[in-house]
Structure 1
Amino acid sequence: MVSFLALHAAVYQRLINDAAVKALVYKDTKFKGVYDALPNDAPFPYIVIGEPNESDFDIKLKETVETSLTIHTWSDKTGKTESYKLLQAVSDALSAFLIVTNYEVDYVKKVRTSVFDDIDGVLRHGVLTLEYTLTKI
């Protein structure tokens, strides 16, 4: 059972519609600031929905999966403050109740959060990994 598409769609919709996230990244209808495939001309700051991973397990005849999803934030501002704000907004948005098509969200856990200077010395890269426990409905 692969929940990637349903979880990705729910996460994307939540992020593009969340007021705090929009206040930080939204530019216009072309550049919503949240991407799966990053346009070459995307303005900073922005958020990229990254790599999913999944492990199946069954609980009392229920199809259950643990799906982790990594979210990346990118900022070109000096210092890490903007990256911290981006990660906080994303974390808050995705920690709230999420509706995932064909799944019940049993649990969400923040696995890892980090911010580091990119190799170019200009960009700040934030990384947030969340783990969702989902049961097929």
Structure 2
Amino acid sequence: MTTAPSAMGPIQTAIYGRLTGDAPLMDLITGVYDYVSEDAEYAYVVIGEAIETPDNRHGGFGRQTVVTLHVWTQHRGHSKGLAIARRVTELLDHQPLTIEDQEHVVTRFEFSQTLTDPEPPGDIRHVVLRYRVVTEQH
């Protein structure tokens, strides 16, 4: 048996599809991005950084991939960002994902954190979300 291919790209694709396929979430945001152009309008979600570690078992290969998502809003207060974060978590936490070349075991919400951009005008809000996605090789 050869080593399992990285799950990071297929997981990013699966998360993107899940988020952009949800009408209630898309009503709250202007888009889901990997790269955000400077003229993008708020509010939006960025699929950000990922860390992948082996999670092998006897006779098979697996991965644990920790994915960080970023919710960005231009709002006075965190209520809008938190509403978006809540919907993202409803879509991902303990929900099945179809991941190319991988068997999805579980996606677990790990944490969220609210941040405020200190630069004027001071109305940029950021919610960081982290999820652990466990996969096994087919």
TM-score (norm 2): 0.90
Q: Secondary structure at the match of 1:62?
A: coil
CA distance in 1, matches of 2:42, 2:55: 39
RMSD after superposition: 1.0
Q: Secondary structure at the match of 2:51?
A: strand
- Counting aligned pairs with the same residue, the percent is 26
Deviating runs (4+, > 4 A) in structure 1?
none
Counterparts of residues 24-35 of structure 1 (less than 5 Å): 24-26=28-30, 33-35=31-33
Unmatched segments (≥5 aa) in structure 1:
27-32
Q: Deviations over 1:76-103 (max 9, x none)?
A: 1111100110101111112221111111
Q: Give 2:136's aligned amino acid.
A: T
| Offset of residue 57 of structure 1 | 2.6
Aligned residue in 2 for 1:18:
22
Q: Secondary structure at the match of 2:56?
A: strand
Q: Secondary structure at the match of 2:83?
A: helix
CA distance in 2, matches of 1:57, 1:106: 11
Counterparts of residues 1-137 of structure 1 (less than 5 Å): 1-26=5-30, 33-95=31-93, 96-120=95-119, 121-137=122-138
Q: Aligned residues, how many?
A: 131
Q: Secondary structure at the match of 1:89?
A: helix
TM-score (norm 1): 0.91
Q: Give 2:51's aligned amino acid.
A: N
CA distance in 2, matches of 1:57, 1:97: 19
| Offset of residue 119 of structure 1 | 2.4
Q: Secondary structure at the match of 1:134?
A: strand
